[in-house]
Chains A and B, each alone.
Chain A
Amino acid sequence: MDETVAEFIKRTILKIPMTEMMTILKAWDFLPENQLQTVNFRQRKESLVQDLVLLCENKRASLRDAALLDIIYTQFHQHQKVWDVFQMSKEPGEDVDLFDMEQFKSSFEKILRRALKNVTVSFRDAEENAVWIRIAWGTQYRKPNQYKPVFVVYYSQTPYVFTSFCHLKSNTPLLSQALTVASNHHKIVKMDLRSRYLDSLKAIVFKQYNQKFETHNSTMPLQENLELDMHMDSRIIHENRIEKERVQRVTQETFGDYPQPRLEFAQYKLETKFKSDFHGGILAERKEPLRCLIKFSSPHLLEALKSLAPAGIADAPLSPLLTCIPNKGMNYFKIRDK
């Protein structure tokens, strides 16, 4: 086994947390069950990894096997990457071909190899007619860097592609070309949507986020809540009860009953004039807009935004600039005065 492959396998296995080791190795399916049983999984991690790498050597693991392990590791740790979303489109009036996965894969790989001698391409099928692609980029003169691969997830029954953030922007046009040509599309466009949570991105672009629960009569649980509080002590009267109920209702209508898709940020580039009813005169003569860049960050942005109006920090309904995020499938915006 090549030294570089051995090192690569070793480093990949080292990344795997002990609690997931067995699961990932089984999913990899390179080392058979009976061999795995001969290994002592209770020893220190470094020694365990050494044993495993030895087994891989004996079985003559190739770069291809190593790349597959890397894909599986990434599938288990999707949130360690930041994912962008691309949308492909066909020419209007183009025939809808029957998609052939094997043809796509071979065509995709061919296009990359024709352009770049040094590139490693690996595939792993996933459910929902999806395929995970791993690409390690090299150059004309340098072998592919296995430690900085790009991952692409293509849902073949949709025009959507998710790619992990790549520092090497120079390869993006080639990647785009390979995707569109191999999948018989005409154009590919990067959406203004980015997050660590692949599932949330899927939920947003496939519009699946609002289908999880059946919506019951939405006012019912709310009234129960408030009535319960009032029963605690009849001397306590809720201030603004009507207003609070209205805010709850409006928030629920805007955000729905279901858990929100998970995003970490939303960014707005504003170029709008300053206008205020109460600060008449301020910047009144200025024709130029205020150039602002506003960024909202949170471990779970949409849930945080949902809690603002009920907490009294925001008006209800919240601005459509914020509530449109899942609907429009965007978390980067450029806003100008009309």
Chain B
Amino acid sequence: MDPYDTPESTPRHGASSRLKDYFIGATPLRKRLESVRKQASFVPTPPRRKIPQCSQLQEDNDPQKFAFLLHKQWTLYSLTPLYKFSYTNLKEYSRLLSAFIAAEKQKGLAVEVGEDFNIKVTFSTLLGMKGTQRDPEAFLVQILSKSQLPSENRGQKVLWTGWFCCVFGDSLLETVPEDFTCVPLFLANGAETNTAIVGTWFQKTFDCHFSSLAINAFNLSWMAAMWTACKMDQYMATTEFLWSVPCSPQSLDISYAIHPEDAKALWDSVHKTPGEVTQEEVDLFMDCLYSHFHRHFKIHLSATRLVRVSTSVASAHTDGKIKILCHKYLIGVLAYLTELAIFQID
């Protein structure tokens, strides 16, 4: 059906032909690795062999315990260690933060028409949300509204949730002195204004600093590979990737959804090292997806920007947004995110 001849392939310089080389050249795998390392050097991340994420995550935890954290979209931040934070003072912190929020809202900084100023703040620990014994306890902060309306749940609607955790944070814990508590990963759900207020209070009280945690394409690819590698009894969602194409003047988005069983079959075919996920495997997995796409559409996805990956385990967006769908691998997902957060702090 194709009326045109395929283009001549002779070795040339320049961006478009470098891409061609990956599909025509002698050792595409090595070149792919080099290109990823080059990409990685723009946002330096250590090349690594990943510790197994799949088999390590047999959660004995009661699945209901953390169920409220699943299926929600969380915005990610990295957080520097907290100075003189104490788990015994949580009630005091609730009180102080409550007062702070009320004061800020009355200042007119974050007023919404008709908003009920009767709010309550709770601090609570999330037991078991850690990787090793050394990890500090994760804790949760919630802003609840004390509704004065005689509605169904008399009392309390959750307006905003934020949680702080550290999963396998050894690399950070080792470097930090006594008075500091390391909870480098912060996840927030709710109005931006509330996140800003809570953030300000923490920064003032514990002399710490929040930064938005973006996830680059390199890490998104890793996440896609690792989550596809996870053993699932049941697939709840299709495996999907979203690329944004830098063409002008019109933007173009390409969404590529693959049946989760087929994605798994592809991964199994790529996967060689038992219990581990390696850089080569991630590259090959992505390369196969790119290649399948190119065969049909003649478009080089590797030249575009990976913006979002979504699997039955979790979905992640490059802007630093995550949604965790599977309690079994919750710790595994948090471990990767903790690593990204720690890297950003360093």
Q: Does A226 contact B (CB under 8 A)?
A: no
By the criterion CB–CB under 8 Å, are A291 and B248 in contact?
no
Q: Which A305-325 residues have C-beta < 8 A from chain B?
A: 305, 307-308, 311-322
The segment out of A14-22, A54-62, A275-283 that lies at the interface is A275-283
Contacts of A313 in B (CB 8 A): 245-247, 299-300, 303-304
Contacts of A301 in B (CB 8 A): 250, 252
Q: Which B1-29 residues have C-beta < 8 A from chain A?
A: 1-4, 7, 12-17, 19, 23, 28
Q: How far is the CB of B252 from chain A (nearest CB, A)?
A: 4
By the criterion CB–CB under 8 Å, are B247 and A320 in contact?
no
Given A295-B255, A312-B16, A315-B298, are A279 and B7 also a contact pair (CB < 8 Å)?
no
Count of A interface residues, CB-CB < 8 Å: 48
Taken together as a complex, chains A and B put the C-alpha atoms of A240 and B270 apart, in Å, by 36
By the criterion CB–CB under 8 Å, are B250 and A312 in contact?
no
Contacts of A315 in B (CB 8 A): 7, 298-300
Given A240-B17, A243-B12, A305-B252, are A291 and B247 also a contact pair (CB < 8 Å)?
no
Taking a contact as CB atoms closer than 8 A, the residue among A278, A282, A293, A308 that contacts B28 in the complex is A278
Q: Mark B246-285, 1 if CB is under 8 A from A, else 0.
A: 1111111111111100100110011000000000000010
Count of B interface residues, CB-CB < 8 Å: 49
Taken together as a complex, chains A and B put the C-alpha atoms of A156 and B238 apart, in Å, by 43
Q: How far is the CB of B294 from chain A (nearest CB, A)?
A: 8
By the criterion CB–CB under 8 Å, are B14 and A239 in contact?
yes
Q: Does A335 contact B (CB under 8 A)?
A: yes
Taken together as a complex, chains A and B put the C-alpha atoms of A108 and B46 apart, in Å, by 70
Q: How far is the CB of A148 from chain B (nearest CB, A)?
A: 29
Q: Does A299 contact B (CB under 8 A)?
A: yes
Taking a contact as CB atoms closer than 8 A, the residue among B254, B270, B284 that contacts A295 in the complex is B254
Nearest to A317 among chain B residues (CB) is: B4
Contacts of B7 in A (CB 8 A): 246, 315-316
Q: How far is the CB of B59 from chain A (nearest CB, A)?
A: 30
Chain B CB within 10 A, most for which of A239, A278, A319: A278
A-B contact pairs, 21 of them (CB 8 A): A240-B14, A250-B4, A268-B296, A274-B288, A274-B292, A281-B269, A282-B269, A282-B284, A282-B288, A290-B262, A291-B258, A293-B238, A293-B255, A297-B255, A298-B250, A301-B250, A303-B250, A313-B245, A313-B304, A314-B298, A317-B298
Residues in chain B within 8 A of chain A (CB atoms): 1-4, 7, 12-17, 19, 23, 28, 238, 245-259, 262, 265-266, 269-270, 284, 287-288, 291-293, 295-300, 303-304
Residues in chain A within 8 A of chain B (CB atoms): 239-240, 243, 246, 250, 268, 270, 272, 274-276, 278-279, 281-283, 286, 288, 290-301, 303-305, 307-308, 311-322, 335
